[in-house]
Structure 1
Amino acid sequence: MAFPDLHEFIARLEQHGELVRVSTPVDRALEITEIADRLVKRGGPAVLFENVKGSSFPLAIGLLGTRERMALALGVKDLDDLGAKVRALMDLKMGSGLGGLMSNLPKLREVASLPPRRVRRAPVQEVVWRGDEVDLSKLPVLHCWPQDGGPFITLPLVITRDPLTGEKNMGMYRMQVMGPRETGMHWQRHKTGARHLENAAKLGQRLEVAVALGGDPALIYAATAPLPPVPGLNEFALAGYLRGQRYPIIRGVTVDLDVPANAEFILEGYVDPTEEWQPEGPFGDHTGFYTLTDLYPRFHVTAITMRRQAIYPATIVGRPPMEDAYLIEASERLFLPAAQLILPEIVDYHMPPAGVAHNLVVVSIRKHFPGHAYKVAQGLLGLGQMMFAKVVVVVDEDVPVADFEAVWRAVSARAVPGRDTLTTRGPVDVLDHSSQSWSYGGKLIIDATRKRPEELGLAVGSRPEQEETSGQEETTEARWAPLVAEVLPDAQGVLAQRQTPDGYWLVAVQKSRAGQGREIGDLLVNSPAARGMRHLLLTDDLTDVHDLQDVWWTVLNNIDPERDVRVVKGLLVWDATRKLREEGFTRDWPDKIVMTPEIRAKVEARWHLYGLPKNP
């Protein structure tokens, strides 16, 4: 079923019991974030806040915040159906004479639905603000997290056209509101919008920009999808394909750009490449850490168009799981057939929420020869945005890639540190705060498949453990007590620790000096308590060692594999402690995102007023 606009989708969610209206006045600064964060982490409903202080527009949040709502948004019963749909489209019959060609007609009709459809009138242009009427403060833009540099538009569909090639692009880039008619434009160096701006600079002209808020949820998803560089394939085309109908567009009022006719708002304007870039941030980002202040271009708003009774759509990002996890999962399912077309040995792949997309990719394969895992991992690293992957774990087809604990059990049982691990380097996400250089750093491949004879015993200095070991049977605090007393008499900053039956030693460290992580790692690895361990994970002081998701989220964020992952006496030591300038780290280290106690207490006290499900 198609959802021509956000209003119809919201009505559909209400029919399914997936959305709650809140009429109690709420604050756009921090309060809405705390409410939405509690709900999304418990699989709670989407919310339509009808009374946001300081704005006459209602705000919708969490619309795509569960797997079920994401599937509903894309018109499928289950997200796995996306892959089946693409696989059927790819299976065109080019032989068998006229009968074979005729059998392709239904699929070709789906392809024909890709180009957008131009309309003369559109709901999104029912109201037009120009000149002094333009005031972004009238929109209920969220100030999401305590250390944020200001309010941020978090669900924008940013539309540009390459002034050299005519290539069109729609991407989702956060926008910090700097004034009534000005925002930052967070175009990272790898993004298409940044390339369009560079080409505008070469021509000595402004770059026209339109920003859509709302519309068909399929288009909101499409703006986040890692589309391959195929001529004619853009975000409007993808949304049209998902809907099976051409997407309605209209020309902007003050810009020569096509915009979605059924959006809630359109911000029209330009970015001038001759202007100095301005400080943007900090921002509580999807990594769960703050992105620190940096310089980015300025977007000047010349007009705002909207529909009558417009609804402002928003999302929050931060410590996982968040709403973006389901956008990522939709892309996994949609692009799995394309990955299998290039690497047919792939059975499945998954980017767990703890890996916040690029930090961890798990892929299962049908293994046919020695080294097959490395062939697939390095092939994945060459596919589009997969180039940003930091850790790639390859498992056999009997391991369910979405079962987080099963994956790490397979790693412990089937991957000998040093022998079955490979460190390399390449491009990384610019939001990666731990890389040795900005947007460039180390990568780790772990081969957790069953080994062929040719793959055994290749690493110098690795322990000759037998395959399919499961670590120690059980551990007790008694093993840790003498270690503290005899090996670490001053505790050396160790706050808490836990050993798991499958060979993981999880340690929280209060770091206060350079080299402390390496010192603690060496002491622990050389202690009697290291017997039966395969991995030593040193995390920061805010990590709960009893929460495996929390541990891996911290570790994957805080390591550059080339610098921080090493083999010591047969153990893989992951140093995920904070890196200091005294250790040669040249950038500031960001804080984890944490809501203030005052806001948490406020929401706790007011929860009964919201009319939402029981306070999680």
Structure 2
Amino acid sequence: MAYRSLRTFLERLERAGELVRVSEPVDPVLEMAALADRAAKQEGPALLFERPRAPSAGASSAFPVAMNLFGTRRRTAWALSCEDLEQPASELRELLHLAPPVSFWEKVKLLPRLGKLAAYMPKHVADGPVREIVEDEPDLGALPVLTTWPHDGGPFITLPQVVTRDPETGLRNVGMYRLQVLGPRRLAMHWQLHKTATAHYRAYQKRGERMPVAIALGGDPALTYCASAPLPPGIDEYLFAGFLRKEGVPLVKCVSHDLEVPAEADLVIEGFVDPRAPLVREGPFGDHTGYYSLADDYPVLEVTAITRRADAVYPATVVGPPPMEDLWLGKATERLFLPMLQMVFPEVTDMSFPAEGVFHNLCFVAMRKEYPGHAKKLMHGMWGSGQMANTKTLVVFDDDVDVQDHAQCAWRAFANVDAKRDLVVVDGPVDVLDHAAPFFALGGKIGVDATRKWAEEGGREWPEPCVHPPEILARMDALYARLVPGAPPPRRPRIPVPRAASWSPKKGVA
């Protein structure tokens, strides 16, 4: 189902017992973040702060604040208009594997599917709820923008949809970048070195023109997720949101410039970045790495207008030491983008980004190994693929390893790896927030080949893990369930696939 507003989503959460209303006054400075941090780490409920404390003594902000919206796998799936994250991943896999039609009749057969895709396209409308109130004299101080950690440089907007456009191609990008409030009408734009908005900024800089920017907040939570998704270049985030919602996103033109924003968003901040203007100092900020990212210089947005719903809800998140709410945004990306990765690397059977790796620091990959050195070939290929270029540690396993079971991964990796033979260390781009890198956005990365080693790779006779016969496991699992009612299902190694002792180009793998 598509949600007509953030409130519609909140109502669903409340009916399911997944929302707690906080009626007592809570301060956006540190207090909200501390409460949301606890809720996120315990996979607790979404929070709706009904009376955010305002800067003036005894006053409350006019805007309630919603936090921890994506704080569990189930809520994240609901936010993406599905019951489980594997559902849209399966639908995406089916679309990606549609073979090009080679005959008239095959084209006819594809029409219903193509028609469905056409229905997901953004829809251009003349007006919408986000323009119920138009503030030509905007004041960012009226918004309950959070200060999340004690040493933050100030209040930051943390869950935005930042809309920019390539001045050469006209293609839209929607990204999620933190935005520091510098004054009533000024925001620091933290778009990083490798981000699309930075490329747009450089293009406007070359042209000597002001850059229009729109920042949407709220609306259907699928829109918020899509702003965080690492989509391939040229893929419109609001089209992807339409695919998730099974309904096109209605877009309305801004009042200050001609960028388009979701008509059903809760708030929109409009403005311009002048690339000829001096940069401003932004940060520090307690980031998703769990550490403060250092202050640096970034462009400034001069706000020209704020439009909003009359009953707008302000969405926010807190990032910091894992696990946090962004774990589930990352898990959604992991499941949805696995089919895309498999189009390039069909040997990949699964992947997982553990929470402790804060997404870019650690990735576990399971693969069907087909020849000596295959795992190392996969490492280098993935490091050259889109946002995977920032992955600092890549551990590759055989396909009988459940990479979603991180305890099993640790056992398999430590048991199967010889440090001299199986580690690959390379230099390359890393996340700009990686404080361990010796240079800004450039550092070392490590690949770990935790697969079984064949004779050609220097492996001796390779043992198999201890696994009971399937028929005995089935009988004893049923008995255990009767003896211990409510016991969780077992997690154990899969039965390994038999492998050939050696390989040759002629016989391949048995």
Instruction: Give the TM-score of the pair, scaled to structure 1.
Output: 0.73
Change in Cα spacing, 1:91 to 1:469, as seen in structure 2 (3 Å) is: closer
Matches of 1:272 and 1:72, distance apart in 2: 39
Task: Give the AA of the match of 1:373.
Answer: A
Corresponding residue to 1:66 among 72, 76, 84:
72
The answer as to 2:219 corresponding to 1:215 is yes
Aligned length, in residue pairs: 459
Give 1:82 deviation, angstroms.
2.1
Change in Cα spacing, 1:361 to 1:89, as seen in structure 2 (3 Å) is: same
Equivalence for 1:23: 23
Paired residue secondary structure (1:419) = helix
Equivalence for 1:158: 162
Give 1:467 deviation, angstroms.
5.2
Task: Give the AA of the match of 2:286.
Answer: G
Matches of 2:127 and 2:456, distance apart in 1: 67
Equivalence for 2:304: 302
Equivalence for 1:280: 282
Cα RMSD over matched residues? 1.5
Give 1:211 deviation, angstroms.
0.4
Corresponding residue to 2:204 among 189, 200, 203:
200
Give a deviation string over 1:35-91, Cα, whole Å, max 9, x none.
Answer: 101111111000110000111110000111110000011111211112201011123
Equivalence for 2:245: 243
Matches of 1:103 and 1:323, distance apart in 2: 42
Equivalence for 1:56: 62
Give 1:104 deviation, angstroms.
2.1
Task: Give the AA of the match of 1:445.
Answer: G
Task: Give the AA of the match of 2:119.
Answer: S
Give 1:214 deviation, angstroms.
0.6
Give a deviation string over 1:481-518, Cα, whole Å, max 9, x none.
Answer: xxxxxxxxxxxxxxxxxxxxxxxxxxxxxxxxxxxxxx
- Identity of aligned pairs, percent? 50
Change in Cα spacing, 1:96 to 1:274, as seen in structure 2 (3 Å) is: closer
The unaligned stretches of length 5 or more in structure 2 are 55-60, 466-510
Give 1:116 deviation, angstroms.
0.8
Matches of 1:371 and 1:125, distance apart in 2: 58
Give 1:367 deviation, angstroms.
0.8
Equivalence for 1:381: 383
Paired residue secondary structure (2:32) = helix
Equivalence for 2:45: 45
Paired residue secondary structure (1:268) = strand
Change in Cα spacing, 1:307 to 1:441, as seen in structure 2 (3 Å) is: same
The answer as to 2:175 corresponding to 1:171 is yes
The answer as to 2:86 corresponding to 1:84 is no
The answer as to 2:116 corresponding to 1:110 is yes
Equivalence for 1:120: 126
Instruction: Spell out the pairing of 1:414-493 with structure 2 (5 A cutoff).
Output: 414-456=416-458
Give 1:259 deviation, angstroms.
0.7
Task: Give the AA of the match of 2:211.
Answer: L
Instruction: Give the TM-score of the pair, scaled to structure 2.
Output: 0.88
The answer as to 2:155 corresponding to 1:183 is no
Task: Give the AA of the match of 1:114.
Answer: Y
Matches of 1:95 and 1:178, distance apart in 2: 54
The answer as to 2:258 corresponding to 1:256 is yes
Give 1:100 deviation, angstroms.
3.7
CA contact (8 A) 1:267 1:303 kept: yes
Corresponding residue to 1:350 among 349, 352, 374:
352
Q: Which deviates further from its counterpart, 162-171 or 101-110?
A: 101-110
Task: Give the AA of the match of 1:142.
Answer: L
Give 1:15 deviation, angstroms.
1.0
The answer as to 2:339 corresponding to 1:337 is yes
CA contact (8 A) 1:30 1:143 kept: yes
Paired residue secondary structure (1:146) = coil
Equivalence for 1:2: 2
Give a deviation string over 1:5-58, Cα, whole Å, max 9, x none.
Answer: 111111111111111111111111111111101111111000110000111110
Matches of 2:257 and 2:331, distance apart in 1: 34
Change in Cα spacing, 1:343 to 1:93, as seen in structure 2 (3 Å) is: closer
Matches of 1:4 and 1:222, distance apart in 2: 16
Give 1:107 deviation, angstroms.
2.1
The unaligned stretches of length 5 or more in structure 1 are 458-463, 471-616
Matches of 1:276 and 1:201, distance apart in 2: 12
Paired residue secondary structure (1:148) = coil
Paired residue secondary structure (2:444) = strand
Paired residue secondary structure (2:421) = coil
Matches of 2:192 and 2:337, distance apart in 1: 23
Give 1:413 deviation, angstroms.
1.1
Equivalence for 1:490: none
Give 1:99 deviation, angstroms.
5.1
